[in-house]
Amino acid sequence: MNATMKREIANEVIALAKATSQNKVATKAGVSSATISQIRNDKWELIADEMWRRIKSNLNIATGWNIALTSNLKGITSLLSSAKQRKLSVGIAYNAGAGKSLSYKRFARTIENVIYIECRNYWSKKSYVKHLIKACGFKPFGTTEEMIETFLEHMKTLNDPLLIIDQFDKLKDPSMDLFMDFYNELEGACGFIVSGVPALEKRVVRGAQRDRIGYRELYSRIGRKFVKLDAIKLDDVKNICNANGVADKDEIKYIFNNSEGDIRRVRKDIERIHLLKTA
C-alpha cells in the first residue's frame, strides 16, 4: 500500500477519532487503540500493510476515489437528514449500483450519532447484534439479550440518533423481527432507515399480506411504502468522471451508455481508462 493511500486512511481515522473517540474507532476498525494512536501521530513504521487494509475495509474508507454529488447522493442525504431530525422510519428499495450504500456510508462518516450497518446473508441473530454493537464502537460480549440491552441503552443516550440498516433484505426473519423491538424501545427518540434491493419491498409486502409475524408491523412503521431512487443520469456520470480525472465528452458518453444504471460499472470504466493511459 502506497503512502498516498495510507495518508487518506490516516486522515479519515483522525477525523473519526475526533468525532467519537480513539477507542471506538479502534473497535470499529478491528485493531488496537495503540495502532490508532500510532496512525494519529504519524508513527507508521511498525504498521503492516495488512493492518492498513483491515482498517480501510472495516471503516468503509474509499481511497483513490473522489465522491461526486449525484442526484441520488443529494436526495438520499436530504432524506437521511430529515429522518434523523424528525425521528422518522423510512424504507428504501432500489436496484444495486444506484449509490445507496455509498450515500449511507458518507453520511455516517460525516454526521454525528449515525449508526450504519451493512447486513450479510450468513449472519445469525447473534452475529447481527454483535455487528450492531461494533458499529456503536463497543466490543461485543455477553448473551444476545445482554448485547441488545447494551445497544438500546446506548442509543437512548445519543442526541438525534439515526440507525441505518443497509441490505436489510439479507437478514433472516429472527433478525429482521428485532426491528420492531428497536422501534418500540426507541420510538420518538431515534430515526430508522431500512434499505435494500427491490426484493426487500416484495418480501415485506408479501409477508404483510400473508400476516407473517412482524411483517405487517414493519410495513406499518415505514408508512406502508418504500422510497424509490432516480435512474443514473448522464449529468451524474459526467460529475463522477470529472471528479475522477475523466473530462473527454466521448469517453463520458461511452461510460454512461455502458453503465446500465450502475455506478460500480462507471467506476470500473474510469479506472480502465486511467490504466490504458498509463500503460
Q: Which own/partner pairs from 240-243 qualify as long-range (CB within 8 Å, at least 24 positions apart)?
A: 240/68, 240/70, 240/266, 240/267, 240/270, 241/266, 241/270, 242/68, 243/66, 243/67, 243/68
pLDDT of residue 277: 82
Residue-wise pLDDT tens digits, 208-263: 999 998 999 999 999 999 999 999 999 999 999 999 999 999 999 999 999 999 99
pLDDT at 279: 67
Same domain flag for 186 and 264: no
Q: What is the residue whose three cell numbers read 488496537?
A: 32
Q: Which domain holds residue 108?
A: 71-227
Of the three residues 227, 249, 268, the one that is the final residue of a domain is 227
Does residue 222 share a domain with residue 93?
yes
3-class SS at 45?
A: coil
Answer whether residue 63 is part of any domain. Answer: no
Question: What pLDDT does residue 63 have?
Answer: 81
- Ranges of the chain with pLDDT below 50: none
Give the Cα separation of 272 and 254 in Å (integer): 12
